[in-house]
């Protein structure tokens, strides 16, 4: 087990991507910790998907912060690609912990929009690393992705596996983040931990994700396309489990120590955070439909088979994602455990309430 070395009390934390799905949930969870701390959120609130959903998440945070005056919460609207802005925030706050969740998301979008991935995921992350070098932090935690495993055939995916075969630019940028972080950890002794997230879902999630997009289409009476003829397996991970993992990791930076040559051994780690229980897309669609019906989002007599079509694999996709979370469990005594049905039920109820169905 890794010992917790950073107590959150009276710490100053930067969360980038704080209007995003995981970022907003992380901020809310930190506020609920009930201890005094300063939390700074940074996000450019771009229009990759419905901005009103991002504003909704920010509103939820503001409401929670008002009820918890021990938290000093401030939101900054801006991009991590803006080096001057990033540097100014580090100079002002001298962060103890940085959690970089800001990134251009989406595998398929990267095929036609490469520029935004380089700007955010490469230049933006470089700016964060440079700021951590100039204004030393106790721990940098950053989002990687299960996409780095690319076309690997061995499952479950282990952090010991080689990840040299990305099948999308998005995956390549996430792998580059891990390489950059390792170099900065080695050169400047910056404790850093990368987290490879596996298919995160839940209430107020991203509309470009399958469960959300499928729901929108089914509600309009449209037909959904199930890729690889439904044979894909996905390690769906509920957002609360992701956030729990992030908070545990935040407080336990890799140890700084020197090697036999007297030089620093990189204080660097990477973990998978996944449910460790892959589900077929056909089962996923069936459970989603059942929970949408139970939540009265879809009518009781809704026939999912009449509104779904099996189609071939799409570019940039992989047939299976499956996380080996043994290191996470060994080091932190934690592994995601929310069932797909439980998570989709929470999403369906949120969807009904949010869209006032």
Return the closest-CA partner of residue 288 out of 356, 228, 251, 342: 342
How many C-alpha atoms does 257 have within 13 Å on its Cβ side?
A: 5
What is the per-residue DSSP string for 201-248?
E-TT--TTSHHHHHHHHHHTTPPEEEGGGGT-EE--EEHHHHHHHHHH
d(CA 89, CA 103): 18
Can you read off the two tokens belonging to residue 305?
Answer: 């088979």
Say if residue 299's pLDDT is above 80.
yes
How many C-beta neighbours within 10 Å does residue 30 have? 27
Q: What is the DSSP string of 106-144?
A: -TTHHHH-HHHHIIIIIIIHHHHHHHHHHS--SEEEEEE
Residue 254 above 90 pLDDT?
yes
Choose the weakest-confidence range: 97-101, 132-136, 255-259, 353-357.
Answer: 255-259
Q: What is the pLDDT of residue 109?
A: 86
Average pLDDT over residues 298-307: 96
Is the pLDDT score of 86 beyond 90? Answer: yes
Please give the average per-residue pLDDT across 204-229, as a whole number.
95
Q: In the chain, how long is the greatest CA-to-CA distance?
A: 70
Indicate whether 313 pLDDT > 90.
no
CB–CB of 22/243 below 8 Å?
A: yes
**Of how many residues is the chain composed?**
357
CA distance 164 to 150: 8
SS (H, E, C) 39-91: EEEEECCCCCCCHHHHHHHHHHHHHHHHHCCCEEEEEEECCCCCHHHHHHHHH
**CA-CA distance, 326 to 273, in Å (whole number)?**
10
pLDDT digit string, tens, across residues 23-38: 999 999 999 999 999 9
For range 168-184, the mean pLDDT? 96
Catalytic residue set: 170
> For position 110, what pLDDT does the model report?
87
> What's the CA gap between 317 and 87, in Å, rounded?
36
CATH topology of domain 12-201+237-275+323-337: Rossmann fold (3.40.50)
Model confidence at 335: pLDDT above 80: yes
| Surface-to-core class of residue 333, CB atoms within 10 Å of its CB (0-12 exposed, 13-18 middle, 19+ buried) | exposed
- Whole-model pTM? 0.96
């Amino acid at each position: 087990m890794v010992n917790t070395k950073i107590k959150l009390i009276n710490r100053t934390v930067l969360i980038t991507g704080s209007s995003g799905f995981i970022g907003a949930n992380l901020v809310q969870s930190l506020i609920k910790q009930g201890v005094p701390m300063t939390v700074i959120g940074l996000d450019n609130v771009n229009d990759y998907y419905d901005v009103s959903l991002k504003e909704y998440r920010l509103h939820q945070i503001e409401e929670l912060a008002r009820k918890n005056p021990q938290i000093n919460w401030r939101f900054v609207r801006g991009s991590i690609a803006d080096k001057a802005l990033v540097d100014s925030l580090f100079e002002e706050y001298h962060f103890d912990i940085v959690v970089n969740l800001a990134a251009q998301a989406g595998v398929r979008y990267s095929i036609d929009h490469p520029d935004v991935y380089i700007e955010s995921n490469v230049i933006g992350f470089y700016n964060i690393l440079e700021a951590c070098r100039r204004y030393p932090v106790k721990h940098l935690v950053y989002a990687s992705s299960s996409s780095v495993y690319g076309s690997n055939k061995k499952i479950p995916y282990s952090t010991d596996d080689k990840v040299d075969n990305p099948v999308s630019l998005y995956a390549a940028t996430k792998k580059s983040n891990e390489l950059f972080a390792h170099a900065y950890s080695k050169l400047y002794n910056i404790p850093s931990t990368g987290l490879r997230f596996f298919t995160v879902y839940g209430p107020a999630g991203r509309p470009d994700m399958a469960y959300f997009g499928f729901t929108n289409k089914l509600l309009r009476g449209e037909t959904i396309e199930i890729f690889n003829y439904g044979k894909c397996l996905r390690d769906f991970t509920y957002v609360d489990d992701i956030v729990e993992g992030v908070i545990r990791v935040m407080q336990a930076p890799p140890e700084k120590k020197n090697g036999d040559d007297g030089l620093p051994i990189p204080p660097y780690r990477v973990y998978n955070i996944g449910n460790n229980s892959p589900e077929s897309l056909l089962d996923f669609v069936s459970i989603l439909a059942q929970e949408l019906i139970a939540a009265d989002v879809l009518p009781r007599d809704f026939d999912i088979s009449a509104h779904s079509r099996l189609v071939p694999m799409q570019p940039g996709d992989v047939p299976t994602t499956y996380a080996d979370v043994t290191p996470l469990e060994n080091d932190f005594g934690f592994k995601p455990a929310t069932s797909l049905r439980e998570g989709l039920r929470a999403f369906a109820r949120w969807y009904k309430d949010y869209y006032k169905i």
